Amino acid sequence: MNQHINRRHLLSAFGALTVSVVMPGVSARAATLGLEKRPALDPKKLASYISIRQDGTAIAYFGKMDMGQGTDMGVAQMVAEELDLPVERVLVDMGDSGTSLDQGGASGSTGVSNGGVTLRNAAAEARRLMVDMAAQHLGVPAADLVVDSGIISSKSTPAKKVSYGELIGGRWFDSEVEWNGQFGNGLAVKTIAKVKDPKDYKVYGTSPRRRDVAPKIMGTGDFVTDIKVPGMLHARLVMPEIAGASPVAVDESSIKHIPGARIVWEKAFLGVVAPKEWDAVKAMRALKVTWSDAKAPFPEQKDLYSHIRNAKPVKTGGEGAFLKEPEKVADAFKGADKVIESTFEWPFQSHASMGPACAVVDYQPNGQTTLWTGSQKPHHAGYGVAAVLGLKNEQVRGIWVPGPGSYGRNDAGDAAIAAAIFSKAVGKPVRYQAMRNEGTGWGPKSPASVHTVRAGIDKDGKVIAWHFHSKSFDRLNVNSNESYPGDSLPGQLIGSPPKPNNVYGTPSNSYKFPVRHETWEVIAPMLDSGSPLRSSHLRDPLGPEIHFAHESFVDEVAFATKRDPVEFRLAHVSDQRDRDVIKAVSDKVNWQARTGARKERKGDVAFGQGIAYSTRNGTRVAVVAEVEVDMKTGKVRGKKFTVAHDCGVVINPQLLTQTIEGNVSQALSRAIHEEIKFDTKNVTSVDWETYPILDITERPLTIDVVLINRQNIPPNGAGEGSMRPIVAAMANAIFDATGVRLRQGPFTPDRLRAGLA
């Protein structure tokens, strides 16, 4: 009955530290780490964040995870820095509700800025305590001690020394920290220890290598799809042709010929299980179902934006003068010599992760239920599984295992709930993996939206009023975590009512205009429950589309007032660090001032260059895109991107650069290809033919990254900020090349040709 799971984060490059866990469970896990009898996880206890093994290695317990951008390495570096340990001697145990506190999972690029900072503070406190212990042990004052590579020694008598391992290795810190009372992203701790002065940094700014790379390339690491539990069955869902239809009759005999195949049916949730995976797939395909006579829920695709425009808002919000003093705003526009207005439209887009989501649940009503999930928020996925199974949160352990891609709230959260429903129904561990059409077609989407921007210009060409307005589907029709079953598709199918949040967002930048206001309206979903168009967070939630509108419009206003886009931005952006990234990127590309489209052309190919800038929770990014447009076919190539990036102190320049490269390329994919297609019955983007993404022949040829390192400013998130301005920079570059202002995405050959016609 032994189950061997190679813990990916403990695998160093070539198996120097291969650790197998025998039957997953807190105590078994702790034993493998050389740490018995771990006290219960308690946010007020230092031991919940950090421990020292007998060999002097530190383990940081990280209640978030890394999806391949190197967040865990960033955290290891922060902890190593405070402990004065080489980074190779810091392990990060992450994404497991059995070993780490709920730090919110991966969310909003807070892995380093929140999660890492908490563990850094804990590490500083651990060091302080160990120095005190060493002072007692060696009989010298603490002020006489120095730490180097985990060895504490006396400055005056260097022979007097003791290691971290000798002091506390294998025992738990018995000490408290000051917890702020929050779980999730907001969890923070204060300690007596002071963190290091930036001038003493040794590990920050270096680029140690990620630990998950070799197992992924050697084919030795586990993905969530690889988890096997004895007695496990394979499951598939059976989904309706018309979204919103539910099964009214199921013909059991239609799958009788498939060995061990069984039906699981509860309300609108219908699926099959079988001991062999292929048999589950066959049963899913063979099952004869009579579906309810559901009315086709969607308008025609071509009517999407008029649907959004005409729909009655269910919620409005925003910032600025508009809400408090609407008259003042109206007056400001009245005083304008001219008013410029543009409207921008952006479609639904899919996570379309590389593989459809998978989860394994081993339901144990009288013991510990285990969930293996690719969800970014394994603690929350565990709460959702507990809720759907009627268990208490602490009865479910949620273990994150790398999934097939993760860019926010994708279908992983749905898979967790589905696997739980299946496991309870059949009384066995169940592995559920969706099919490709579900991954692309039925997973959560980023919401389609319409953005209207207006600027009032006085007779001297000065902007005197600015209004940015979005109308959209809900940013969080299903929440970005899955702790409530109604926030998942299978939960909705078994009758958990949806709880839409009805929220949206506003542009993020530091432009100053005499009057500036930003408002939004959220409209109701087209199908309340069980919808393939339910909306949620996709990497840099709302960022690409809001800033596509905002930064395109900034260029429009600059040109309308005969100003250069870079000069206009520098003149109106009020924050010095924001100006610095704009300056840095324009210097890097040797930007030539212009006051309109330059339409550079060689034969059928037009060349253009465009800038955009935005901020995200303290991180600021400016980008210049260089494009080629084939004037015959209308095909756009994003050739070169130059990115100036300021996220405070840079911890790992190499991994940061590669994160930026990935974001640029993924945003390029969204800019030129991605649009969820649907008909009146259902989503019709169901695979890579019907939902194309970037091909290697379309990759940027150059991505130049300028990192602005602010040694004295704490790290801000870098996972998403560079995703944000890319689409806008592309649109501005296309305008520069062709004189065509695209106000609807994605920038496909059809749209280009229509603009050129």
Partner 1 sequence: MAKIELNVDGKSHTIDADNDMPLLYALRDDLGLKNPKFGCGLAQCGACTVLVDGQPVRSCVTPVDSLGKSKITTLAGLSQNGVPHKVQAAFIEEQVPQCGYCMNGWVMTTVSLLATTPKPTDAQIEEAMTGLKCRCATHVSIMRAVKRAAQA
Which residues of the shown chain bind ligand FES in the complex (CB under 6 A)?
A: 354, 405
**Least distance to partner 1 from the beta carbon of 247, Å?**
23
Q: 236 or 517: whose CB is closer to partner 1? A: 236
446 is an interface residue for partner 1 by CB under 8 A: no
Nearest distance from C-beta of residue 354 to ligand FES, angstroms: 4
Nearer to partner 1, 59 or 284 (CB): 284
In whole angstroms, the minimum distance from the beta carbon of 442 to ligand FES comes to 18
- Least Å distance, CB 658 to partner 1, is 6
When asked if residue 675 is in the footprint of partner 1 (CB under 8 A), the reply is: no
Binding-site partner at residue 635 among ligand FES, partner 1, none, CB < 5 to 8 Å by type: none
CB within 8 Å of 746: residues ≥ 6 apart: 347, 670, 671, 672, 673, 674, 675
- Does 502 contact partner 1 by CB under 8 A? no
**From partner 1, ligand FES, none, interface partner of 209 (C-beta below 5 to 8 A by class):** partner 1
342 CB-contact burial (10 Å; exposed 0-12 / middle 13-18 / buried 19+): middle
Please pick, from the candidates 198, 405, 514, 714, the single residue that binds partner 1 as defined by CB under 8 A.
405
The whole-angstrom separation of Cα 103 and Cα 114 is 9
* Sequence letter at residue 709: N
Taking residues 421 to 440 in sequence order and writing x for each that binds partner 1 by CB under 8 A, - otherwise, the string is ------------x-xx----
Site for partner 1 in 231-250 (CB under 8 A): 234
CB 584 within 8 A of CB 611: no
Interface region with partner 1, contact rule CB under 8 A, candidates 28-36, 180-188, 377-385, 683-691: 683-691
> Residues 624, 655, 672, 728: which binds partner 1 (CB under 8 A)?
655
653 part of the interface to partner 1, by CB under 8 A: no
Cβ distance to partner 1 smaller for residue 213 or 314: 213
Q: Considering the rule CB under 8 A, would residue 413 count as an interface residue with partner 1?
A: no
**Torsion of the alpha carbons at 280, 282, 283 and 286, rounded to the nearest 10:** 160
According to the binding rule CB under 8 A, does residue 639 interact with partner 1? Answer: no
Distance between CA atoms of 658 and 664, rounded to whole angstroms?
10
Spatial separation of the C-alpha atoms in residues 672 and 668, rounded to whole Å: 6
Number of residues engaging partner 1 in binding (CB under 8 A): 61
In the complex, minimum distance from the CB of residue 628 to partner 1, in angstroms, rounded to a whole number:
16
CA 447 to CA 542: how far, in whole Å? 8
Closer Cβ to partner 1, 56 or 208, answer by number: 208
**Contact between 406 and partner 1 (CB under 8 A)?**
yes
CB 13 within 8 A of CB 73: no
Does residue 183 belong to the site contacting partner 1 (CB under 8 A)? no
Coil, strand or helix at 374: coil
Calpha distance 184→202 (Å, rounded): 30
Question: Would you call 365 exposed, middle or buried from its count of C-beta atoms within 10 A (0-12, 13-18, 19+)?
Answer: exposed
As separate numbers, helices (DSSP H) first and strands (DSSP E) second, the chain gives: 19, 31
Q: Which two tokens stand for residue 5?
A: 């799971």
Q: In degrees, to the nearest 5, what angle opens at C-alpha 185 toward C-alphas 183 and 188?
A: 65
**667: nearest Cα among 644, 632, 688, 638:** 638
Between 564 and 628, CB nearer to partner 1: 628
Q: Which residue number places its CB atom closest to ligand FES? A: 354
User: Shortest Cβ distance from residue 431 to ligand FES (Å)?
Assistant: 17
Between 329 and 399, name the residue whose CB sits nearer to partner 1.
Answer: 399
Please report whether residue 419 would count as binding partner 1 according to CB under 8 A.
no
Smallest gap from residue 617 Cβ to partner 1 (A): 21
Q: Please tell me whether residue 734 binds partner 1 under the rule CB under 8 A.
A: no
Nearer to partner 1, 52 or 729 (CB): 729
The single residue among 108, 115, 398, 404 that binds partner 1, judged by CB under 8 A, is 404
Q: Which of 40, 217, 249, 757 binds partner 1 (CB under 8 A)?
A: 217
Match 């599984």 to its residue by tokens.
385
AA letter at 37: K
Range list of H helices, 91-147: 117-138
CB of 700 to partner 1, least distance (A): 7
Q: Which does 433 bind (CB under 5 to 8 A by kind): ligand FES, partner 1, none?
A: partner 1
- Residues 9 and 57: their CA atoms lie apart, in Å, by 14
Nearest residue (CB) to partner 1, 317 versus 662? 662
Strand, coil or helix: 191: coil
Describe the strand order of the beta sheet including 702-707 as a list of residue ranges: 600-602, 605-616, 619-630, 636-646, 702-707
Query: Which of 601, 710, 703 is closest to 662 using CA atoms?
Result: 703
Q: 529-564 as b/e, with b when 16 or more CB fall inside 10 Å?
A: bbbbbbbbbbbbbbbbbbbbbbbbbbbbbbbbbebb
Cα gap 93→401, rounded to integer Å: 12
Q: Which of 42, 192, 278, 754 binds partner 1 (CB under 8 A)?
A: 278
The one segment of 116-124, 184-192, 581-589, 661-669 that binds partner 1 by CB under 8 A:
661-669
Q: Can you give 45-86 as a three-state secondary structure string?
A: EHHHCEEECCCCCEEEEECCCCCCCCHHHHHHHHHHHHHCCC
Query: Smaller CB distance to ligand FES: residue 648 or 719?
Result: 719
Given partner 1, ligand FES, none, residue 95, with its beta carbon under 5 to 8 Å by kind, binds none
Tokens matching residue 108: 């909003």
Minimum Å gap between C-beta 672 and partner 1 is 12
**Footprint of partner 1 on this chain (CB under 8 A)?**
13-15, 67-69, 209-210, 212-214, 216-223, 225-226, 228, 234, 276-278, 281, 352-356, 402-406, 433, 435-436, 654-655, 658, 661-663, 665-666, 668-669, 687-689, 693-697, 699-700, 703
